[in-house]
Amino acid sequence: MAVIIKHGKAAQFVHLHTHSPFSFLDGAGSIEDMIAKAVSEGMPALALTDHNNLCAAVHFHKLAVQAGIKPITGVELTMEDGSHLVLLAKNGEGYSNLCRILTRAHLDNPRLNPRTRWGLLETYNQGLIALSGCRKGRIPALILAGRYQQAEEIALKIKAIFGKDNFFIELQSDFLPGNRSLNRSLAQLASHLGLKTVATNNVHFADKEQFKVHDLLTCVRTLTRLQDVHRERRLNGENYLKSTSEISEIFSEYPRAVANTVKIAEMCEPALKLGERLFPSFTDLPPGETAAGYLRKLAFDGALRRYHRLTHRITQRLEYELDIICKLGFEDYFLLVWDVASFARKHKIRYAGRGSAADSAVAYCLNITEVDSIGRGLLFERFMSLERAQTPDIDIDFDSRYRDTVSDYIYKKYGADRVATVCTYNTFRARSAFRDLAKAMDFPPDDIDRIAKKLPYIHADQIELALERFPEMKESGIDSPRFRELLRFCAAVSGFPRFISTHVGGIIISRYPLSDITPLQEAGKGIIVTQYDKEFVEDLGFVKLDLLSLRTMGAIEDASITIRETDKNFDYDAIPLDDKSTFKMLNKGETIGVFQLESPAQRSLQSRLNASGMEDIVASVALIRPGPIKGNMVEPFISRRHGTEPVTYLHPKLEPILKKTYGVVLFQEQVIEIATAIAGFTPGEADRLRRVMTHARSHREMEAIGADFIRKAAANGVAKEIAETIFSYITGYASYGFCEAHAAAFATTAYKTAYMIQHYPAHFFAAIMSNQPMGFYNTNTLCVEARRRGVTLLPPDINLSGSSFTVDGSSIRISLRQVKGLKENALVSILRARQKGDFISFDDFRRRVLIDRDILENMILCGVFDSLHANRKQLLWSLTDAETENIITSPLIENTVTLPPVPDFTRREKFNYEYEILGIDINYHFMTLLRSKLQEHGFITSAQLLEQKEGSLIKIAGIPIRPHRPPTRTGKITAFFSLEDEFGLIDVTVFDKTYQQYGALLFTKPVPPLQVRGVLQRRGNGVSIIARKIGRLNWNP
């Protein structure tokens, strides 16, 4: 076998027992750092052996290959007796066996407690090398316990499983007490049994300094604090990636053990095969039909249905797409997705394709998407092209209530062993890192909670920045060297994985049994997930299918059903896309409840943009995103759209790319095209950029790409400053930008929901209230908006309310489900009892329905029984002691007959109870109670705002809704929130100076009712307030 030569010298040592952060709280050195160190040490290979998982294997493989060293895929197993054993894959067969072993270890044992049976190793022993493990290895543990004979027996057992040449006794350099004598005994055992030794360092971090971080992570893992003693805590920081010279010195007595590391590395070949075709063939083909032929037939049949006649343009486009799909070998994948969509249609499950698939006319004709890509001029190459040859990614939103029905269909059709949900890694962000590490460092729990709640959603290495910038953070009250040390530790764990969870919708379907290709394990709710996330499964060659849950789909379906009860001709799919009254409504910024267009920024945009067609809505959807906002492109876009500002380009090469969007970077595809045009990125580099943008994998990775971009742009003759400015736009896009096709798909739904609100407000608002939580606003704000639109809100009623909000003429009846604490089973028993006839009295209800007292109290207090008995307090009195203890009530209840005359609750008391129990102000808004006093003090309402002059100083008051701080290009903070009063919302902008003074009021929970003094600003058809002073509204109604 060839000797590995690195930098002209024979290699001397390879680390074969290494843990990354994917050992989940038992690894503190990034994979990047460890590979870099191995490379700098001239090591020709590196093994990764995380605990019971291969999560990092793909990432590690790619980085190692890129760095020019050999990746060795391995794992440290926890055996059925709790001992550890290291396995390394020699080849693809060994890798598959690792996957099979890990799958069984996870799925045959309780969740989070994987155990491998020794017997399983006998079944899956091929292509693997075993190392005897750390002190938790069975052999070292027995030797430490003085049971040498048993240690030999186990060694013989493992030798018999893997063969003499594939089993090595590990000697470690961990500088723990007894280490020298343990190594002596292990070497003696190896010699006695004719086995070889191997030197390892059980690496858990790259550098010794990272020991502290590892120790803290161990505390997090073991739920202990630093001052606590725990056997999992390491005594010293010796488990770092030691240099060859350090290892040679430490193992000077065992030179063969060191040399054997290189021999083992030579025995292993990179075991992972990336980019294989792993999705299955479509099996339901008509006899004699090929997949390509059938796809073609379906596409053209669908085109006839969609377009009614096939023009040359349509035919040419479909032929072009089909040619690329088939050349890239994705005809089966399209048929598979078509089959899933067909299942949903057949079962009347509402869905809509999203994402870049909307660039495809074939997808449109197969009823996968609802965007006419030909009509809209969308380019198929943005979805699939021969040059990029990237895997297509089709995402479909389903009515959230039936999403699992669709996935069940897939599991049944392709077999549970070939279908799995993709995992996602929950990583340390600012809040989680702060909470976990502060607890381990024994900071007072109250301080931890108080500060953690104030932390915005940022990376864990950005907390110091947040402390400087956000006023509520400045008031955190902790500023000590220890606190600063904590923040440094938070930064060190930023982005480290904490645990595996389930991806929101990603499913893979495999041609082969999945456990041959990826380890599977159980995530929460019993869902079987891959150990690879969506990026890594794509690298392996799977094509992910995203089955997403979208409550908007449920709301659309619910509203469509109730609308058809009064308007039989209503057809959601046939909603005209040029309805003038809908655009008029949009142009007024009256978009609360409209999918994707309801945030304050969107409402403001709509009132200024004067949208006149779908193209404007597509732009709107893409425009109010952190990218364009940070790039300060919203205002230029509007001005350029209206022709009041010339369209300019930072560089002539940008013109053909950005012409359609008036020189503004709106869509992800444009970013890719810019990277190619300005910096000459290859398709591979552009794809890397796309992945970082799409997956928000790492902001550090984005910085590295930025450096490449600027360097390559300079080589391309682009001035450095211009290249930097252009890349700053790209950075803003990371994970936030929409692709045009996706924006078009969302815009279609946005417009149609706007249409429903304009023409059927009661139906649509009832539907979105029934499908909460969804959208930007809570139910009460939706009620305010519904009222503003002339819809009356009716109280919950025991005989009239349903399980969902219902429509009664132009009124909405509050549902019984809205009552706090009323669970599904209670709801079902009420509705079942009511099917036999209305309840005629409160006593009648109690005779017919058995319900917990606390729920009954809630129902009384929010007025559910008002139509049967108006005095709520009297009804409370009627509840017996038996009900207090939730004991079955007597069938002969007649308690209300003999009730004493008790005065009912006051109007205000009823108001408070109703809001507390329903989350809704039924009859009037809280601000109504303060209105006369507010008027006396010169406060105006949201309804009066339109009458005010531009620039006038005004006073407003209300309940603050959704304060937020979107990123800005300058780094200065601008906060936005809405004040809700009885007539609607008032949007308030808080610029940096005012924010620094009053920001803590907005971002410290609970946020109280506020008064704002500020300047009225008119923009387009909308009005907003620039805040100058913000204060609590400390008035009692």
Partner 1 sequence: MSKYVEKQVEVVSSSDGIPCSFYWNGKWTEICRVLELWKDTGTWWEGESEKTFFRIEAAGESLYELYLDSLKQAWFLYRIYD
Binding site for partner 1 (CB under 8 A): 175-181, 211-212, 215, 226-227, 235-238, 249, 441
Residue 177 or residue 938: which is nearer to partner 1 going by CB? 177
Q: Shortest gap between Cβ of 486 and partner 1 (angstroms)?
A: 11
427 strand-pairing partners: 497
Residue 95 or residue 443: which is nearer to partner 1 going by CB? 443
Nearest to 544 by CA among 580, 587, 510, 521: 510
Residue 252 or residue 835: which is nearer to partner 1 going by CB? 252
- Other C-beta atoms closer than 10 Å to the C-beta of 772 total 17
Residue 145 or residue 946: which is nearer to partner 1 going by CB? 145
Q: Shortest gap between Cβ of 226 and partner 1 (angstroms)?
A: 5
Residue 176 or residue 833: which is nearer to partner 1 going by CB? 176
Q: Shortest gap between Cβ of 176 and partner 1 (angstroms)?
A: 6
Residue 179 or residue 829: which is nearer to partner 1 going by CB? 179
CB of 215 closer than 8 Å to CB of 227? no
Taking CA atoms, 227 is separated from 39, 223, 443, 488, 491, in Å, by: 37, 12, 12, 19, 22
Which amino acid does the sequence have at 315? T
Give the C-alpha separation, 403 to 298, whole Å.
Answer: 24
Residue 180 or residue 347: which is nearer to partner 1 going by CB? 180
Q: Shortest gap between Cβ of 271 and partner 1 (angstroms)?
A: 35
Give the C-alpha separation, 761 to 703, whole Å.
Answer: 47
Edge-to-edge order in the sheet of strand 128-131? 45-51, 70-78, 84-89, 128-131, 167-172, 196-200
Q: Shortest gap between Cβ of 490 and partner 1 (angstroms)?
A: 15
Residue 485 or residue 904: which is nearer to partner 1 going by CB? 485
Cα-Cα end-to-end distance for the chain: 87
Enter the tokens of residue 815.
Answer: 């549902």
Residue 180 or residue 273: which is nearer to partner 1 going by CB? 180
Residue 177 or residue 286: which is nearer to partner 1 going by CB? 177
Residue 226 or residue 379: which is nearer to partner 1 going by CB? 226
Residue 184 or residue 873: which is nearer to partner 1 going by CB? 184
Q: Shortest gap between Cβ of 60 and partner 1 (angstroms)?
A: 28
DSSP 8-state class, residue 400: T
Nearest to 659 by CA among 642, 640, 676, 645: 640
Q: What DSSP string runs through 992-1020?
A: HHHHHHHHHHHHSSSPPPEEEEEEEEEET
Strands 84-89 and 70-78: antiparallel
Taking CA atoms, 1002 is separated from 720, 987, 1005, 1012, 1029, in Å, by: 40, 14, 8, 12, 12
Residue 179 or residue 1004: which is nearer to partner 1 going by CB? 179
Q: Shortest gap between Cβ of 170 and partner 1 (angstroms)?
A: 18
- DSSP, collapsed to helix, strand or coil, labels residue 740 as helix
Q: Is the omega angle on the peptide bond into residue 773 within 30 degrees of 0, that is, cis?
A: yes
Q: Shortest gap between Cβ of 253 and partner 1 (angstroms)?
A: 12
Report how many helices (DSSP H) and strands (DSSP E) the chain contains, helices first. 43, 23
CB of 501 closer than 8 Å to CB of 523? yes
Counting every residue written for the chain, the total comes to: 1037
Residue 23 or residue 239: which is nearer to partner 1 going by CB? 239
Give the C-alpha separation, 769 to 818, whole Å.
Answer: 9
Q: Shortest gap between Cβ of 281 and partner 1 (angstroms)?
A: 57
Taking CA atoms, 534 is separated from 55, 61, 421, 529, 704, in Å, by: 11, 16, 9, 11, 22
Residue 152 or residue 207: which is nearer to partner 1 going by CB? 207
Strands (E), 677-788: none
959 strand-pairing partners: 980
CB of 539 closer than 8 Å to CB of 57? no
Q: Shortest gap between Cβ of 498 and partner 1 (angstroms)?
A: 22
CB of 783 closer than 8 Å to CB of 793? yes
Q: Is the dihedral of CA 668, 672, 673, 675 positive or negative?
A: positive
Give the C-alpha separation, 603 to 776, whole Å.
Answer: 12
Which ranges constitute the DSSP H helices of 760-813?
Answer: 761-770, 779-788
DSSP 8-state class, residue 697: -
Residue 181 or residue 935: which is nearer to partner 1 going by CB? 181
Q: Shortest gap between Cβ of 196 and partner 1 (angstroms)?
A: 25
Enter the tokens of residue 486.
Answer: 């904590």
Q: Shortest gap between Cβ of 213 and partner 1 (angstroms)?
A: 11
Enter the tokens of residue 239.
Answer: 């488990």
Q: Shortest gap between Cβ of 481 and partner 1 (angstroms)?
A: 11
Identify the H or E element spanning 398.
strand 394-399
Q: Shortest gap between Cβ of 177 and partner 1 (angstroms)?
A: 4
Strands 9-10 and 520-522: unpaired
Q: What DSSP string runs through 329-342?
A: T-HHHHHHHHHHHH
Residue 212 or residue 955: which is nearer to partner 1 going by CB? 212
Give the C-alpha separation, 241 to 244, whole Å.
Answer: 9
For the chain, give the longest Cα–Cα distance: 101
172 strand-pairing partners: 200
Enter the tokens of residue 989.
Answer: 């902008």
Nearest to 238 by CA among 207, 275, 194: 207
Q: Shortest gap between Cβ of 58 and partner 1 (angstroms)?
A: 34
Q: Shortest gap between Cβ of 443 and partner 1 (angstroms)?
A: 12
Q: Shortest gap between Cβ of 488 and partner 1 (angstroms)?
A: 13
Q: Shortest gap between Cβ of 225 and partner 1 (angstroms)?
A: 10
Enter the tokens of residue 914.
Answer: 């109703």
Residue 123 or residue 181: which is nearer to partner 1 going by CB? 181
